[in-house]
A = this chain, B = another copy of it.
Amino acid sequence: MASDNYEVTPMIERLNEAMESGAFAQVRRMINRGLPAQDVAHLLESSPPKERDLLWSMIEAEFRGDVLQYLTDDIQAIYLNRMNPEEFLAATEGLDTDDIADLLQQLPDTIIKEVLVSMDTQDRHRVEAVLSYPEDTAGGLMNTDTITIRPDITLDVVIRYLRRHQSIPDSTDSLIVVSRKDHFIGMLPLTRLLVSDPNITVREVMNTDAIVISADMPDSEVANLFEKYDLISAPVIDENGALLGRVTIDDVVDVIREDAEHSLMSMAGLDEDEDTFSPVLLTAKRRAVWLGINLLTALLASAVIGIFDATIEKVVALAVLMPIVASMGGIAGSQTLTVVIRGMALGHINSGNTGWLINREFIVGLINGAIWAAVVAGVAMFWFDDMMLGFIIGTAIIINLIVAVVAGASLPLFLKWMKIDPALAGGVLLTTVTDVIGFMAFLGLATVFYL
């Protein structure tokens, strides 16, 4: 847990200065003695590749696991793949089970086996329990460092039992009450333990309606539960009700951050684990794919324009104005898309209210379409001194804005139903729709009225 004091930024600044002036002995001392692991991880994440490798080489072997657990997946993978099993074991000694399992999952299967074989039996069983669940479930997120008690003892006995511990695991706000067969019965919050009469039994004060999480619950649902009910820790059980471990708020906070970032990054075709300072070739490769996908959209739009080349040749003002129609549709649609994707992530949207939502978007599209169609029509009329042109672009804008907002509202729902990530595919598909409809409506109407 915590460390030092909260004035870490100046410390990082001092470290940056030391790096720049080449005072490596000083840097090494600061990293390994001065800074908490979280700050060393943040420093690595804020460094370009070469500087990052230099810093990593200065971190002492037994401190590397502490630092690794705070790094983003992209960067973890880089350094984990440079370690052999012995180095991995040395680095991860003393980490929480869930953190070791997280790191292990980044390694090839053969290495995972080698590492597991070298662990002591208790640790191996614990890590294997976590590894047996997918990383993005409660089971993959859980920790096995639970303190369990039995319901029929008195609080005084509980307090004496706790005093035999050197320490209690981080983020322990409750003790877990289990049956003889290790089945979950209830929770005893430490605060209740402290205010209650020591002579009564656990059963009398325990909380039996606590939130319990099954091991296969998706981590985003776990996060929603923690957020909604202000939880600090929650027990994880298997399908038979046997206690497996607990999920703690510190791991859930990471899930919340990643889930929220997922939409932002996906809409630009990026991964939420993306390293800000990933090297040139990796960056270029990842982005090239997204550019290629979007090129198909652009080519389709060009093909639509191509249909009307005779019209454009006759009225060149159409070429001048046509990007406005496509762009207004794109903006209006992406606003709706963003609202709906966020609403879906928050669990606001269900079969009972989608009808209302699409209907509202239709009316909003009509209102804003009418307002801006009038403005653009006026601009076009004055600019090119052509009433007809104003009428055509105005009508095209109204059509495209309505299509855009209805598509923005329905595309993510359709994609979710198709089990495609709406944040990733929604924007590209929407642009395709607004470009094609925009150019088609504008140039099509022009063809009807001018040719």
Contacts and interface: CB of A to CB of B under 8 A. Distances in A.
Interface of A: 1-6, 16, 20, 36, 38-39, 42, 45-48, 70, 159, 162-163, 165-168, 170-173, 190-197, 207, 209-213, 225-232, 249-250, 253-254, 256-257, 260-261, 263-265, 267-270, 274, 276-277, 279-281, 283-284, 287-288, 290-292, 294-295, 297-299, 301-302, 305-306, 309, 312-313, 316-324, 326-328, 331-332, 334-335, 337-340, 342-343, 346-350, 352-353, 356-357, 360, 363-364, 367-368, 371-372, 375-376, 379, 383, 431, 435
Given A227-B253, A253-B253, A291-B331, 5 more contacts: A268-B338, A280-B364, A305-B319, A316-B319, A327-B431
Contacts of A363: 280, 284
> Which of A48, A165, A279 has the largest count of B CB atoms less than 10 A from its CB?
A48
A426 to B, nearest CB: 12
Given A168-B191, A229-B2, A298-B327, A342 B264 contact: yes
Contacts of A231: 1-2
Contact of A38 (B228, B253, B376, B383): B228
A367 B284 contact: yes
A20 B2 CA distance: 51
A173 B352 contact: no
Contacts of A323: 298, 301-302, 305, 323, 326, 435
Copy tally for this chain in the complex stands at 2
Contact of A324 (B173, B194, B298, B322): B298
Contacts of A331: 269, 290-291, 294
Contacts of A163: 194-197
A375 B265 contact: no
Contacts of A253: 226-227, 230, 249, 253, 256
B349 A276 contact: yes
Contacts of A1: 229-231
8 contacts: A1-B230, A5-B211, A36-B229, A173-B232, A253-B253, A276-B343, A298-B324, A301-B327
Contact of A295 (B191, B196, B287, B376): B376
A316 B319 CA distance: 9
Nearest 6 A/B pairs, CB to CB: A260-B260, A319-B319, A230-B250, A276-B343, A168-B191, A268-B338
B328 A302 contact: no
A261 B262 CA distance: 10
Given A320-B302, A328-B298, A368 B288 contact: yes
Contacts of A210: 2
A339 B276 contact: yes
A260 B268 contact: no
A67 B260 CA distance: 24
A48 B353 contact: yes
A102 B287 CA distance: 42
A358 B94 CA distance: 40
A227 to B, nearest CB: 6
A321 B322 CA distance: 12
A229 B3 contact: yes
Given A268-B338, A276-B339, A280-B367, A232 B256 contact: no
Contacts of A364: 280, 283-284, 287
